[in-house]
Structure 1
Amino acid sequence: MALKEQLDKFNKQQEKCQSTLSSIASSRERSGTSSRQYVPLPAAITQNKPDAAPVRFSDNTKQLQYINNIRNSAVGAQMKLVIDLLFKSREAYTAEQINKACYVDMKANKDVFDRLKKNPRVHYDGRRFSYKARHDIKDKSQLRSLVFKYQNGIDVADLKDAYPNIMEDLQALAASGDIFWMTVNTVSKEGIAYPNVEDYPFKIDNELKAIFRDMDVPSDMLDVEKELRKIGLKPATNTAERRAAEQLHGVPNKPIDKKKKKQEISKRTKLTNSHMPELFNSINASSSRN
């Protein structure tokens, strides 16, 4: 109210000044004084402050159109803008702060608000929204511990959103030999991360062992390649082409010696199938004889 009273008082003073000037000009005209004679004006009139540059709404047309397009876009598109903001900043935002940052007005669009609260990649504490990674880890040490919990490997695609520089830490762990990062012939495009451990605590089912023992593997590589092609696999070798090249250059093709003595397992043999102890009965028998 005090500001309004001061404004009214100022307007009245202006009107009074204008009335005074008009009366002075009229009296001089009646007395024959030239109207072009200089008449000093009050200081309140002469000391005008420079006006600020007027705001033209046309200057912000593009921005207003951009904001309007966002708020009229589909719910999924608005959700993506918010999730991208949370992912890149890794900070917590209120609905008002989100509106200022990416122009998604969740108070005016209840669908966006409700669906973001239920989104698995978003955490809502009742007031603020923040990004929720698949795995709650923050540094290389926690990353290593997490990989070692997955003996059969963990998909790197599930790790890359944990924190900003996680891919660099993953490469460092692979370079130091703490983990194996397999990117070839994997289901995941990002690859699979395995812990580098000597022994894996797993058991092989007896039925699988029986299938392995009963499997008849052809002795000729031509037959092996043929069987691989039957099940849709591309052989790494081409025996027919290799043998044709050997004959062309005069290299004799060595016949397969089916009577070749089977190599026996000794104490010095490096064992990689320790999960099948029955294969090494001969070693145990020889040890008992000695």
Structure 2
Amino acid sequence: MALKESLDKFKKQQEMCQTTLSSIKASSKSTPRVTPYNTPANAKSPAPAVKFSSDTERLQHINSIRKAPVGAQIKRVINLLLETRQAFTAEQINEACYVDVKANKAVFDSLSNNLKVYYDGRRFSYKSKHDLKDKGQLLKLIRKFPEGIAVIDLKDAYPSVMDDLQALKAAGEIWLLSNFDSQEDIAYPNDPRVPIKVDDDLKQLFRGIELPRDMIDIEKDLQKNGMKPATNTAKRRAQAQVHGISNKPKQKKKKHEISKRTKLTNSHLPELFKNLS
């Protein structure tokens, strides 16, 4: 409220100044200009009037930020902490992104209790899920999760963590695979102390197994071996029949070709009909 009152007062003052300047300009046109006897002929003209438009826009921008919902203000502060990775006091946050944490109790309480924010009683800083600093700590953490760890839980650990993941993958230290259910990347450790060697006979035996042609038969074989198929072809086909959807592939429409018997409506463009059959 104090900011709005100051802004309204500032606008009224600006309007009064503009009115005064207009009246002065009008009177100067009707009254002949008289040079005082003690004024030098080469005296400098008075400085032009100061424009306040830029400052008005800044105040309006600050006012719109502080009137925004609490969630929007929290997001603005968290983005600041994430990008800088520095600790800020409430006053420094106000100067950096115009969110008045000190004056807004709802913003202060929400920010100090946020899972992504660490508050030590004076300063706010970003808190990632895993406290990592470099590639060595990243590899040590991944090796603690032989079943895999989600990349989304690692990507905000420190600014260059994604580059380090790719470097570890290129060096053969880890595997980056996509999870079939969530379509998210999972990081798996590739411990060089446990090398796996597969005999050529076993490779040939694996490649020589002929899979069933029908997907339903493949799903049945998986179930017989105690595995749950990721698909349900029988259910999908039954739903398709209920809705009248055919499982047969659609035939492609024959492409219409131009021949000598085709009626030409663009005869004024002869270059289009060079390859008539």
TM-score interval (norm. to shorter): 0.5 to 0.7
Identity %: 50
Residue 118 of structure 2 aligns to a residue in which SS? strand
1:130 maps to amino acid: S
Please report how far the alpha carbon of residue 232 of structure 1 lies from its aligned counterpart in structure 2 after TM superposition. 5.8
Please report how far the alpha carbon of residue 187 of structure 1 lies from its aligned counterpart in structure 2 after TM superposition. 2.4
Answer yes or no: is 1:225 the counterpart of 2:218. Answer: yes
Instruction: Render the CA deviation track for 1:108-144: whole Å, top value 9, x for unaligned.
Output: 2111011111111111111111101111101111110
> What is the distance in 1 between the residues matched to 2:35 and 2:113?
80
Map of 1:192 onto structure 2: 186
Change (3 A) 1:97 1:221: same
> What is the distance in 1 between the residues matched to 2:82 and 2:36?
70
Change (3 A) 1:49 1:147: farther
Aligned residues: 178
Answer yes or no: is 1:126 the counterpart of 2:124. Answer: no
Contact 1:94 1:129 in 2 (8 A): yes
Pairing 1:222-261 to 2, within 5 Å after superposition: 222=214, 224-225=217-218, 227=220, 233=231
Map of 1:101 onto structure 2: 96
Map of 1:162 onto structure 2: 157
Change (3 A) 1:39 1:68: closer
Contact 1:151 1:194 in 2 (8 A): yes
> What is the distance in 2 between the residues matched to 1:172 and 1:116?
35
Map of 2:247 onto structure 1: none
2:70 maps to amino acid: V
Pairing 1:56-205 to 2, within 5 Å after superposition: 56-183=51-178, 185=180, 187-189=182-184, 191-197=185-191
Please report how far the alpha carbon of residue 51 of structure 1 lies from its aligned counterpart in structure 2 after TM superposition. 6.9
2:146 maps to amino acid: Q
In structure 2, the gaps of 5 or more residues are 1-33, 196-210, 234-277
Contact 2:65 2:99 in 1 (8 A): yes
Moved more, 118-127 or 48-57: 48-57
Residue 86 of structure 2 aligns to a residue in which SS? coil
Contact 1:123 1:130 in 2 (8 A): yes
Residue 120 of structure 1 aligns to a residue in which SS? coil
Contact 1:186 1:192 in 2 (8 A): no
Change (3 A) 1:50 1:173: farther
> What is the distance in 2 between the residues matched to 1:164 and 1:129?
18
Please report how far the alpha carbon of residue 89 of structure 1 lies from its aligned counterpart in structure 2 after TM superposition. 0.5
Residue 60 of structure 1 aligns to a residue in which SS? helix
Contact 1:86 1:92 in 2 (8 A): yes
> What is the distance in 2 between the residues matched to 1:171 and 1:59?
46
Residue 101 of structure 2 aligns to a residue in which SS? coil
Map of 1:9 onto structure 2: none
1:146 maps to amino acid: L
Q: Give the TM-score normalised by structure 1.
A: 0.53
Instruction: Render the CA deviation track for 1:8-59: whole Å, top value 9, x for unaligned.
Output: xxxxxxxxxxxxxxxxxxxxxxxxxxxx998557x9xx9x998776543333
Change (3 A) 1:108 1:40: same
